[in-house]
Amino acid sequence: MNARTRVLIAEDEPLAAEALADWVAQLPRLQLIASCGDGPTALSQIRALQPELVLMDIQMPGLTGLQVLRALADEGPHPAVIFTTAYDEHAVTAFELHAVDYLLKPFSHDRFVEAVEHALQSGPPSFGAALAALKAPPVEPLTRVLVRDQGKIFPLQVDAIEYLHSDTKYTALVSRGRSLLVRLPITSFEQRLDPGRFLRLHRGCIVNLDFVDAMTPDDNSQLVVKMRDGATFTASREVSRKLRDQSL
């Protein structure tokens, strides 16, 4: 590869795309040449611009990352590809055996740097092996995340997260009276949380049902969810209806 590796980002989550662009800019060896948010554009720009490294989401409008990879399988030269994905540990293990790498959402800056180094040091990517790896079964729920706070990194048990709510650029993880900000969209967590324990109330809020004190209908018949720490969130009309239907 050249002194500066030409990078293309294909990510439909704006916050994730912004974080990836910032992290690419922080690595002098990388040069961001384009960014897009859907599969067809990713495929056309990869063909036109011939990047050496592609950071690509699996789930994108139009074409998935997997379909983009399949379309490129018979063409060359192949770029190194790092997927941002919520696929399970079996797929992750399989990916580790091949040139194509992954970033399992939610991922950290350190894991990003590690994946980039792996991609830059690897030989020609084995697209066929990576495609086989992607057919692994669905993901197990996330049990632990590594969170940065005040210059430290520490493990946070997912069961101890009381609720998550999205900020302008961050997702706040609230646990034991602390609000920890991570630079990932809330949708990245939703895909990995146990659906039997966590409930998305609306676009910007997910609650752990173990920490819900009560749900009370407001004047618009939407449920106001009160958490044990006193925080309240109003569920969307659709979620409120489902909760009422599920109540005994």
| 127-160 per-position pLDDT tens digit | 665 666 565 555 567 888 877 777 777 788 899 9
Q: Which of 202, 190, 188 is nearest to 243 (CA)?
A: 202
| 39-49 per-position pLDDT tens digit | 999 999 999 99
Strand, coil or helix: 75: coil
Quick check: 209 and 35 in contact, CB under 8 A? Answer: no
Rounded Cα distance between 86 and 207, Å, is 20
Instruction: State whether the Cα torsion 223-226-227-230 is positive or negative.
Output: positive
Instruction: Return per-residue pLDDT of the chain as tens, 248 residues.
Output: 457 899 999 998 888 888 899 999 999 999 999 999 999 999 999 999 999 999 998 878 899 887 888 888 777 778 888 888 765 544 554 454 454 677 777 777 888 888 888 788 765 556 665 666 565 555 567 888 877 777 777 788 899 999 999 876 678 999 999 998 887 778 778 777 888 899 999 989 999 999 999 999 999 889 999 999 999 999 999 999 988 887 77
First to last CA, the chain: 62
Rounded Cα distance between 83 and 104, Å, is 8
